Amino acid sequence: EDWRERGAAVGARQEVDSNGQVQTRNVKKGVKDFNFGRTLGEGSYSTVLAATDRQNQKEYAIKVLDKRHIIKEKKVKYVNIERDTLNRLTEHPGIVRLYYTFQDERSLYFVLDLASSGELLGVLKKLGSFDIECTQFYGAQILDSVAYMHSRGIIHRDLKPENVLLDRNMHTKITDFGTAKILPDPAASGSGLDVVPGSPIDGADNDRANSFVGTAEYVSPELLNRSNACKASDLWAFGCIIYQLLAGRPPFKAANEYLTFQKILSLKYSFPDGFPPAARDLVERLLVLEPANRLPIEHIKNHEFFDGVQWGRGLWRHNPPRLK
C-alpha cells in the first residue's frame, strides 16, 4: 500500500471542474504512461529497460522487479532499502534519481535517471586503464557523490565500477542502493556518530550481521572481521576504485572469494610499475585496515592527487577530459 501512496503524492494534480469546484485528481504514473525500449541491464531480481514518458518524451531507465521472485527469495527488505535510500538522495547530480514507483499485478517499477553511457567498468575495460587526468575527474565526481550520501546518513556498501553509471555527458551517477545502510538520523539521536552505542541499530542490521554484503574485491576488512560497515567502508572501496582506474585491475584479486578475503585481511597488494606517486600515496592512506585511520573525505579532497579540482557544484558543470 506504501507503493501506491508514494506514487500518488508525486502525481496529484488539482483542477477546477465544470461546477467551479477544485478537484484533486490522481495522475499517478503507471506502466501505460511509458513506452518501453531496449534492455539496459539484467540482474538476478530485476531488468532495467529504457523508456520514454508518453506525455513529454522524457527518457528514463525503468527497473522492473518480479514480485513473486522477490518474495520467494526473501528480498523484500532490500527492495524497500533501495526505494527508501533513493528517496533520501534526490538532490545530487551524481546519484541516480528515483522519480516514481508503481506496480502492477506481477512487477514493481522504479523510474530512474537514464545513464545512457553505461557502466564505468565497461569504459574502463574498453580502454584498459585511465590516465591521471581522467582518474582525477571520475574519482572526484564519485567522491563528491559519496560525501553527499554520507551527509544524508547513507552508506552504500557496494561501491565498485559496475555501480558507477555514466550519463550522456559522461558524468557519473552512482546506482544500486539495494545493500545500502540507513544510519539513524543524527538530529534525532543527538549524536553525529555513525553508530549509536547501545541503540537497537548498533551492530547494523542484526538479521544479516553474519552474511557477506557486497562484492568480494571491494569489501572492507571490518565487514569481513566484524560484519560491521561504517562510512569509512565506502572509502576503502573508493581507494580500490582509484587503484583500479589507474592499474586496470582491482588491488585485491584472487582465484576465488576466500583467497581474495585473505589478501584483504592481510593487506596484501602491490602497485604496478609506473603507478603515479600521488595516487599511490592516496591509495595507501585509504587501504588501511583500521577504518578510523582512513583519510576522511575532507582530507581526500585536499590531497595532492586532487590538486586543481574545483569541488562542489562546479565539478558537475565541467566537461570530462577526453578518454584516451
> Where along the sequence are the contacts to ligand ADE (CB under 6 A)?
40-41, 48, 61, 96, 112-115, 165, 175
Catalytic residue among 113, 158, 194, 234: 158
304: Cβ contacts below 8 Å, ≥ 6 apart: 278, 281, 282
Of 113 and 222, nearer to ligand ADE (C-beta) is 113
Of 96 and 235, nearer to ligand ADE (C-beta) is 96
What are phi and psi for residue 256, nearest 5 degrees? -145, 175
Q: Is 158 a catalytic residue?
A: yes
58: Cβ contacts below 8 Å, ≥ 6 apart: 52
The CB-of-55 to ligand ADE minimum distance in angstroms stands at 20
The CB-of-68 to ligand ADE minimum distance in angstroms stands at 22
Burial class of 149 by CB neighbour count within 10 A (0 to 12, 13 to 18, 19+): buried
The CB-of-112 to ligand ADE minimum distance in angstroms stands at 4
Residue least distant from ligand ADE (Cβ):
61
The CB-of-221 to ligand ADE minimum distance in angstroms stands at 29
Pinpoint the alpha helices (H) of 186-310.
186-189, 221-226, 231-247, 257-265, 277-286, 297-301
Q: How far apart are CA 316 and CA 144, in angstroms?
A: 10
Of 45 and 271, nearer to ligand ADE (C-beta) is 45
Of 64 and 147, nearer to ligand ADE (C-beta) is 64
Is 268 annotated for ligand binding? no
Other CB atoms within 10 A of residue 92 CB: 18
Q: Find out whether 173 and 120 touch, Cβ atoms under 8 Å.
A: no
Of 160 and 231, nearer to ligand ADE (C-beta) is 160
The CB-of-74 to ligand ADE minimum distance in angstroms stands at 23
Cα distances (angstroms) measured from residue 82 to each of 97, 144, 208, 303 = 11, 20, 16, 32
Known binding positions: 63
- Just list the catalytic residues: 158
Known binding positions for ATP: 63
